[in-house]
Every structure is written in structure tokens, then in C-alpha cells.
Amino acid sequence: MNQPIQNCYWIVSGAFLAGEYPRDKDDQTSRDKLGKLLDSGVTTFIDLTEADEGLLPYAQWLGTATHHRFPIQDVSVPSSPQITQDILDTIDHAIDQGERVYLHCWGGVGRTGVIVGCWLARHGHAGPSALDQLHELWQQCPKSRRRRSPETQAQERYILNWEASR
């Protein structure tokens, strides 16, 4: 399945998409970018950015789609396992309800990669297998030519230590 916007990638084709912040510098470009995601069927947006990152809001343009914010500090990992659990539960619940999920942070690389890796661990790719699967999926994204997801060793360790049973 094709990616609706440039810097994103499918985790589960047709159900779970991950990528960069879905807003741009100006309103028209932002509406176009969000429109492509909405036209592709995205109904649930999961936002890992913090309110003080200086990013412009976009929830006002989502129509009936839902927006959930679970802030994680940039270039970091979730502050507690419970936050990760809550994010994964939100993703799984949306998918179970037939929703199409778009998970993002600012660049779609570090924080997003951590959550994708933990989601993969939850769904049968624990430990190094989760990282291997994440690296393979990440290759769909043009940013993969110059960036690695996740970004830091601490983020990789977080994925490696995530327990699939959670």
C-alpha cells in the first residue's frame, strides 16, 4: 500500500501508519498534508510531541478523526512503562475497532520508532527481532536514507527491554 504522505511508513498495511508531524509551516500546506492522511482513511492520530515544542496544532482540521496526545520528551523514551502501555493500548483498541492509526512525533524517527518497536514487541517480535522488524519497516520512509530509527542507544535499549507480555 502506498504512503499517503512522503515521510511515513506502514507498520500494518491499511491499519497502522507512522511518520512525521502532520502539520507544515503554513496553513494551506498543512491542510493538504492532513487531507492526504484523512483521504487515505486515517481516523486516529496519536501525537507523541510535547506542547512546548513550538509545533502548531492541527486537531482543528481533523473533522471526525480523533487526536490523542501522549507527550514524550524529544530524543528520549517514555517517562514510565505505564505511558508506553497506554499508547500501545490506544493503538490496539483503535485497530480492533477498524480505525486507521497515524502515530507521529516531530520527525517521525526517535520517539515514534520507540513506540513502533514496543508495539512490535507486544505483537510477537520481542527483543532484537523488534529492532530488526522496525529497521525493515523504516526502509519504506525516505528519511531512512540518512537517519536511523530509533535515534539513540537509550531508545534501542528501551525497545530491547520491553516485555512482549505487557
Domain ranges across the chain: 8-161
Give the chain's residues under pLDDT 50: none
With residue 103 as reference, give the H or E element that holds it.
Answer: strand 101-104
Position 1 scores a pLDDT of: 78
Residue 163: per-residue pLDDT? 77
Closest residue by Cα to residue 118 from 150, 144, 145:
150
Q: What is the pLDDT of residue 166?
A: 56
* 44-47 and 101-104 beta bridge pairing: parallel
pLDDT computed for residue 118 by the predictor: 98
**Which pLDDT score, from 0 to 100, does residue 126 have?**
84
C-alpha cell at 61: 482540521
Superfamily name with CATH number, domain 8-161: Protein tyrosine phosphatase superfamily (3.90.190.10)
Q: What pLDDT was estimated at residue 164? A: 57
Q: What is the pTM of this model?
A: 0.96
Q: Which tens digits make up the pLDDT trace of 84-130?
A: 999 999 999 999 999 999 999 999 999 999 999 999 999 999 889 99
